[in-house]
Structure 1
């Protein structure tokens, strides 16, 4: 096989109220709305398309690891520690539920945040070299 997967184009996120959730993503994260109906909203941000899909209450994209720790399924990247600190501060000002900035024993620092439905996301202070290479002028 000579062909390979090239990128992640869309991520699906369960939400209980499409209208309320899409407004949260637009206002809190600066997403752009592409499409919305009663069952889904298509948003663009962080160089990707996100589908907010109407789902039963108390459902999220989170999962538990072998040790019982709740995990996120998505890590967003920012360009450096100062950018991480700034977005962390900005999220707190916007009253987004955020965790503390952490040292997890690898390069960079991280923090987690949650949307209205409890979907847990991670933010990392290191941009991947491939993304940096492709987006540099």
Structure 2
């Protein structure tokens, strides 16, 4: 098996709100848009963010576990400078994102802040000045 991820698939409760957030708010472009079912967005050279309405997700994958708290995962968008962290957070908030946390300088030398999309999925916006940070930048 190749060492790679091709799709990140998330179940969403309101596909119209998700579409408005990612396409209209963040300015991303759909690769595939099936109203009432799925929205797919190219998120990297060989990576697609697949946003499925939760009933369609459950029909294919199985029951979704529900309960209090947040999903124990994050999606990350790395940038090339600390200033870009603030700019991306501002764009997300202008699009209606929940402003989870402002940009903070971290002990490891970088800077991160968080926002949540309409379903509460946490996005980390990060500047990592180390070698691993350069690996994920275009």
* Distance apart, 1:81 and its partner CA: 0.5
TM-score after normalising by structure 1: 0.73
Task: Report SS of the residue matched to 2:103.
Answer: coil
- Aligned partner of 1:62 in structure 2 is 71
* Distance apart, 1:61 and its partner CA: 7.3
Q: Could you tell me whether the CA contact under 8 Å between 1:28 and 1:96 is conserved in 2?
A: no
Q: Could you tell me whether the CA contact under 8 Å between 1:58 and 1:117 is conserved in 2?
A: no
- Aligned partner of 2:134 in structure 1 is 129
1:65-118: CA deviations, max 9, x gaps? Answer: xxxxxxx32221011101112222333333322221123321210001101111
- Aligned partner of 2:51 in structure 1 is 52
Unaligned runs of 5+ in 1: 64-71
- Aligned partner of 1:92 in structure 2 is 93
- Aligned partner of 1:76 in structure 2 is 77
Q: How many residues end up aligned between the 2 structures?
A: 122
1:39-76: CA deviations, max 9, x gaps? Answer: 2111123553110011169959722xxxxxxxx32221
Q: Which runs of structure 1 show a deviation greater than 4 angstroms over 4 or more consecutive aligned residues?
A: 56-61
Unaligned runs of 5+ in 2: 56-63
RMSD: 2.7
- Judged with a 3 Å threshold, the aligned counterparts in structure 2 of structure 1 residues 94 and 19 are, in CA distance, closer, same or farther, namely closer
Q: Partners of 2:16 and 2:96 in 1: how far apart?
A: 19
TM-score after normalising by structure 2: 0.73
- Judged with a 3 Å threshold, the aligned counterparts in structure 2 of structure 1 residues 92 and 39 are, in CA distance, closer, same or farther, namely closer
- Aligned partner of 1:31 in structure 2 is 28
- Aligned partner of 2:13 in structure 1 is 16
Task: Report SS of the residue matched to 1:19.
Answer: helix
- Judged with a 3 Å threshold, the aligned counterparts in structure 2 of structure 1 residues 131 and 75 are, in CA distance, closer, same or farther, namely closer
